[in-house]
Each structure stands twice: as C-alpha cells, then as structure tokens.
A and B are shown apart, each in its own frame.
Chain A
C-alpha cells in the first residue's frame, strides 16, 4: 500500500465550478502537508502548505487537513482555465525535510 494515495483523474469541470482535490495517507507521523501545482512541461511549484490539522485559505484556494481521518483536501473556488494543471499533494513528518512523500497527482482540466 502506498503511503499517499491520490486519485489520478482526469477531472474535467466547467469554468466557475468549485473543485475538490483529495489525498489520503497512512503514516500518522505526517505533520506538514503541501499542495504543488504542475503545468504541462514544467516543474511542480508550491501552491500551499499547512501544518497539522485545520484550514488555510489563500485567495481562491483552501487547503484542509483532517488528521483523524488521514485525509487532506484542496478546494478551488471559481475555477479558471488557467487552473488546468496536475495537482500533487505532498507530506512529511516533523523535521522530515528530506522525507517528502508525494501523491501521484490529479490532472485537472477547466474548460471555458
């Protein structure tokens, strides 16, 4: 069983929709949770990160962590065609700066 599971999609939504992207994990030691966005033919770039449980909001993006369920989510409000990309979740234990574990990524397409 993989430590981090992520539905690969693809997920196709109309412009303006609310998008929910999710990851589940098995290692209860994970404390730092990140979302990376990867455009086609580019390297991943950090979108958001949260420590432990709770929500974090940044513009149209909200990251949510539920440690009791070992489940993290990224919500995108008012989705735009420019949001079309692959979204990777990543997580690490406390102090595990070199032990980042990535999900396989979910491909999102937002059509006008």
Chain B
C-alpha cells in the first residue's frame, strides 16, 4: 500500500530533551515536507526537501532540523524542544515538479512540558 508513515504517533517530552520524529514514504517521491498544525493557524510548512541531501526552510523553521540521507526517509529533529513546539506534526510527500498533490502521513502529536 502506498503510504507515508510517521513514528511515534504520540509523544510527551520535557523541555530541552532532544527528539526525532521519523517519516518514511514508499512511493519513490522526490519531494518531502514537514508541517505543523495548530488551531486557528492551519498547516504551516517547517522544512522541505527536493531530493537526497537537498533541503530548504519553510515558513516556520526555527527550532527544527531535518536531514535527507535516503530518498524514502525525512526525519524531523528537535534538538532542544520548548513548550511552543507542542503541536500536531505532519510529514508529506509528492511525486515531483508538476504535481501539487501532497500525500500526508497520519500525524504525530507532540506535547512538550
């Protein structure tokens, strides 16, 4: 089944404790993105990647890091999480140039206390 998977689905952590949210897609898509979803603000892009080793900032990149060492994986790293990063995070992928359709993962609900 074509899909985007994320792990973990739920995470509660404390301020300053480094964490990684994994994302993997099995559709051989070139492009991958991370979004956060907050009430009243909608989905906002954190980072995106056009291909292996090629990443760029989205609209809200502060406090986040990403890497793309393999085409299928695009982990999101929070090196020192803070309470304002409590949110619902989505990974997405899309085939490539010419396609606007994003395929989203199931989401990771992160709480930072």
A residues within 8 Å of B by Cβ?
4, 6, 8, 32, 34, 41-46, 49, 88, 90, 92, 97-98, 100, 102-105
Contacts and interface: CB of A to CB of B under 8 A. Distances in A.
A100 B92 CA distance: 12
A90 B94 CA distance: 15
Given A42-B107, A43-B90, A43-B104, A97 B97 contact: yes
Contacts of A103: 42
Given A44-B90, A92-B100, A98-B31, A8 B107 contact: no
Contact of A44 (B31, B56, B104): B104
Contacts of A42: 106-107
A34 B4 contact: no
B45 interface: yes
A43 B42 contact: no
By CB atoms of chain B within 10 A, which of A43, A100, A103 has the most? Answer: A43
Interface residues of B, number: 27
Given A43-B4, A43-B90, A43-B106, A102 B42 contact: yes
Interface string B25-66: 000000101000001111111001010000010100000000
Given A6-B42, A97-B97, 7 more contacts: A41-B106, A41-B107, A44-B43, A44-B104, A98-B48, A100-B100, A104-B40
A102 B43 contact: yes
A46 B107 contact: no
